[in-house]
Structure formats: C-alpha cells, structure tokens
Amino acid sequence: EELYSRPIEAFIHEQDRLRTGQKHRNLLNGQAMHNFQNRYITKGGDTIWLEWTSIYFPEKEMMLELARNITPQKISALATEAQYNKYKSLATHFKNSMEKDRKYLAYELHEELAQLAAGMKMEIETISFLVPDLPELAKNKLTHAANTAKLLIKTIQRLAFSISPAMLGQFGLDPTLQWLCREFTILTGQNCGYSSSYDEASLSEEEKTDFFRICQEALANVMAHAHASHTHISVSKTGKEIILCIKDDGIGFDSEREYTGAGIVNMRERAASIGGRLEIKSNNQEGTSVCVSVKKYS
C-alpha cells in the first residue's frame, strides 16, 4: 500500500528524472536497457544508487526490471573522481602559474636586457662617427663589438621566445609553430617543414600552449639525439581528434623500451593535463614520430 500510494517517478532523484524517463521511452520502443545507473530517494531521505537491466515484452505489455544496489561502489568512485579533479585542478594551477612566470621573465629579457644591448650597440656605432680618425685596429675592435652586441640581441630575443612566445597569444598557434620550425632550421641546418589542416579556434589557450611546449620538447630531442636531415611538424583534425605530430628521419631508437627521460615525461604529463594521449613510434635507423591527440566534441 505504501509503494502503490506514490508513482515510481516520485522516488527518482530530481536530477535523474529526465534521463530516466528518456531511457524508459527508448525501452518501450524496443531498446533493451543494460547497466543504466540512477539515484533514488529512500523513505528516510537518503540517496541510493541503483544499476538497472530492463526488458520490455510488448505482447504482454510488461517490463522485467532488475536493479542492483551499487551505492558503496558509486560513493567510492565519486570520491576517487573528486580527488582526481582536485589534483588535476592543482596541476593546472601550477602549470598556469609557471607559464605566467615565464611570460614575465621573457618580457624582462626582451624589453629590458635586449633594449640595454641595443643601446650599447648604438653607443659603440656612434664612436666611429664622433671620432673618425681612430686607428684601424680600434675601428676593427668597435666593429667587432657592434657585431657581438647585434648577436647578443638576437640571442636574447631567441631565448625570450623559447621561454614564452608572445606571438602565441597575439597571432595564434599556426604562426608560432611555423616560426619555431624556421628557427629550428636556422639553428641546426636541418630541413623542417610545417603543415596544418584544422580549426585553431577549437583549441583552448591551455591546449595551444601545451601543443607548443610538446613541439618545443620534441624538437629539442631531435636536435640532441636524432641526427636527422628532415623534420616535419603537422597539426590536423581526424574524426573528433586534433593531432599534433613531429616526425623526423633520424636514427630512431627501440620504442619497445621504457624511456623515462625528463623530456618524454614532460610531454606525457602535458598531454595528460589537457586530456590528450601521447604516442611515440620509433625504430632503429627509421626515424621517430611523436604525436599528441586531443578529443574535441564540438
């Protein structure tokens, strides 16, 4: 009598009523329901989790529904998920804080140190005009000093970009990776190509930053270990995934071994922090590919 006095929907948790109703409509249309989970409110006001398996017999207009109480397991799973989200949030906070510090350091390098070096270069060049009858040896020394100052400015600018590329926020990921590719060619003499076929607007600022950092780390590994003659960077969309790949034709390595170097660990952690998957493929004398894929549901 107590059960019959209230419709079954009255026991369903308010937040689960809509999707439970949809599931039952699907069931009446011939779709069996397996392992469906929802919440119910007990007579005492407690919340319990039930897992349902249901079958509808249209000829008898009858449903057979079996429910299993999974409350302890669900509470444990939700607690684990909450703890995971807490640590993920902390990791994101520390990562963002580190990027903020890098931006500040890059700004100081570019706006302060580079400007000082530029001022020094101008002062050196001015001496030649103010004192035209300097000995040839002194003129050569001044020319050498001016060239060194010019090289210093370029080095500071390159360091500032490496620490935190301002153009990533100003112009986007595509131009930044193209610039990184050109710089790699200048520094190593190796041919570096770039291609892209994706919608950059679908990536968040955090994802763009992590794509850049992973690419930066992968190129550093190519520079240090690969002995390659050609490297190619690509960003593409395949299905619901956006994939960044860095491929080289270097000496490769045995990818069956477990590598725990700082570079690979950093790439894996960055990929995981944006819900991505890092995949490294390599064979001896056959080059290496480093790819990170991120699912986009929009």
Reported as a single tens digit per residue, the pLDDT across 195-205 is: 999 999 999 98
Dist. CA 255–CA 291, nearest whole Å: 14
What is residue 224's predicted lDDT score, i.e. its pLDDT? 86
Percent of the chain with pLDDT over 90: 37
Pick the closest to residue 231 from 220, 241, 243, 240 (CA basis): 220
| Lowest mean per-residue pLDDT among 93-107, 208-222, 242-256, 282-296 | 93-107
Name the percent of the chain in helix, strand, coil, to the closest 5.
55, 20, 20
- d(Cα 47, Cα 11) in Å, to the nearest integer? 10
Tokens 């004192």 belong to residue = 131
Q: Is the pLDDT of residue 96 over 60?
A: yes
Q: Which residue has the higher pLDDT, 114 or 229?
A: 229
Lowest mean pLDDT among 5-14, 20-29, 81-90, 223-232: 81-90
Predicted TM-score (pTM) of this structure: 0.60
Q: Map tokens 């319990």 to a residue.
A: 48
CA dist., res. 38 & res. 19, Å (int): 9
Q: Which of 153, 150, 146 is nearest to 113 (CA)?
A: 153
Model confidence at 8, pLDDT cuts 50, 70, 90, reads confident
| Amino acid 255: pLDDT | 61
CA distance 57 to 36: 18
Check pLDDT > 90 for residue 284. no
